[in-house]
Structure 1
Amino acid sequence: MSRVLIRVLWLTLISGLSLQGCTPPKPVRLGAPIEGFSHTSAAINRFSVNGGGGPNLAPYGYGGGQMCCASLPVKWHPGLTVVVEWVKDPDPYASANWPPLGTDGYRAAYKLHAAKYTHHRAVVPVAQYEDLGIVYVHFLPCNQVAVSAGTTYPGRPDYPFHFPQKMQEPATCPQP
């Protein structure tokens, strides 16, 4: 072989090996969309999962669409938890008796009402999943929360939780 051909083959080999280092690594974490369910008579005015926002939830309601995003591992591992924070309105229908919208009376009533909102934070285990999918957050009585993040969804037999849509608050809640 000629020296030129050997050099071309050598450069091709070196170039090919160097390009292998350019292959992007598989992600360890991804941003997953968030949806929520309120299984109580309270409204969830806003919530987040690991800092990513979730939609507002009406009493006994399903969240109005997906919000972005909760950062989670692509593969589930034992001990996986997320931080869920939320603001709860315990009396979401109070505005039915307020003065007309846009008036000083309405603003005053809203200010008094909003002062009764409660703020919560919980570190919640994530149900086991094979592949990362939509993050579903269930708000339950006594400020309890359940979280799943797989490719199955509520209503399917393989979904990890089967909560009734409407759950009543007990007279007293267990102390944490």
Structure 2
Amino acid sequence: MSALLKRQLLRGLLLAACLPGVVMAASIQVLNYSSREVDYIAVENPGNTNSGGGGDSIRPYGQGGSICCFSVPEKWHADLKVVVVYQLSPDPTFHRETVSVPSYPDGKGGDIWLIVYEDGSVGAVVSHYGPSRPEWPGKIKGYPVPTKEYRDERRRQKLKREKATLLTLERVLLRDINILSVEDIKETQEIIEFQRKLIQSLEGKP
């Protein structure tokens, strides 16, 4: 192929990409099905680091978005791929993974959903349906739900923090009881009592 023909072909592709109906602006959504904090996640077109969008941080078993915008083809094609750029806490490493986008449900474009799985891998789908709909093309159906193990660990950590707070309050009251006013003592005692009830609740005690 001659250089002139290559330039003409490239010019034709660029013009086609600018025609109405060929690409569409998609909001960026994120689903985190893992127990790890997502410190950063964004999407790019392969070979074009300036085409990116996103950058959210997402809590474990959480979701994020909508961030505007990222251009996706209005019509799906078999070799459609995007690059997901992400960082999972506590690892400071930025990862870049090229993933295939499954066919659009009903053949219609929509938001682009970036997905983090429990094993640390990532994916992307384009859909105008959310994860709770049967038409959802993602390999996991439904929004992220924390596991029992994760919920139990969160409860243990909260219980530890609340006990430390109670201990600090009790020590402060004991140390300053001779210099506090009657009103301040009463208020501190009420806070301590509330803290004890909160701890009992976290421990599952009546």
1:122 alignment partner in structure 2: 97
Secondary structure class of the residue paired with 2:39: strand
Assess if the C-alpha contact under 8 Å between 2:127 and 2:137 holds in 1: no
In 1, distance between residues paired with 2:30 and 2:19?
Answer: 32
Q: Give 1:33's match in structure 2, choosing from 27, 43, 50.
A: 27
Residues 54-73 of structure 1: pairs in structure 2 closer than 5 A = 54-63=55-64, 65-73=65-73
Residue identity opposite 1:83 in structure 2? V
User: Separation in 1 of the partners of 2:70 and 2:20?
Assistant: 18
1:96: which partner in 2?
none
Alpha-carbon distance between aligned partners in 1 of 2:78 and 2:87, rounded to the nearest angstrom: 29
Residue 62 of structure 1 and its aligned partner are, at CA, apart by 1.0
Contact 2:109 2:128 in 1 (8 A): yes
Q: After superposition, what is the alpha-carbon deviation per residue over 1:61-114, rounded to whole angstroms, capped at 9, x for unaligned?
A: 111x31122221110000111000011113xxxxxxxxxxxxxxxxxxxxxxxx
Cα displacement (A) at 1:154: 0.5
Separation in structure 2 between the aligned mates of residue 146 and residue 125 of structure 1, nearest angstrom: 8
Output the TM-score relative to the length of structure 2: 0.53
Q: State the shift of 1:121 in Å.
A: 0.9
Identity %: 33
Q: Compare relative contact order (CA 8 Å, sep 6+) and give the higher one, 1 or 2.
A: 1
Q: Report the TM-score, using the length of structure 1 for normalisation.
A: 0.61
1:52 equivalent in alignment to 2:53: yes
Q: Report the counterpart of residue 108 of structure 1 in structure 2.
A: none
Alpha-carbon distance between aligned partners in 2 of 1:55 and 1:39, rounded to the nearest angstrom = 15
Deviation at 1:165, TM superposition (A): 3.1
- Say which structure is richer in helix: 2
Aligned pairs for 1:123-142 (under 5 A) are: 123-129=98-104, 130-142=107-119
Aligned Cα root-mean-square deviation (Å)? 2.1
Alpha-carbon separation, structure 2, partners of 1:118 and 1:126: 24
Q: Please, which runs of 5 or more residues in structure 2 have no aligned partner?
A: 1-17, 45-51, 150-206
User: Structure 1 segments of 4 or more deviating over 2 A?
Assistant: 24-27, 161-168
For structure 1, list consecutive stretches of 5 or more residues without a partner in the other structure. 1-23, 91-115, 169-176
> Which residue number in structure 1 is paired with residue 77 of structure 2?
77
What count of residue pairs does the alignment treat as equivalent? 119
How much does 1:27 deviate?
Answer: 3.2
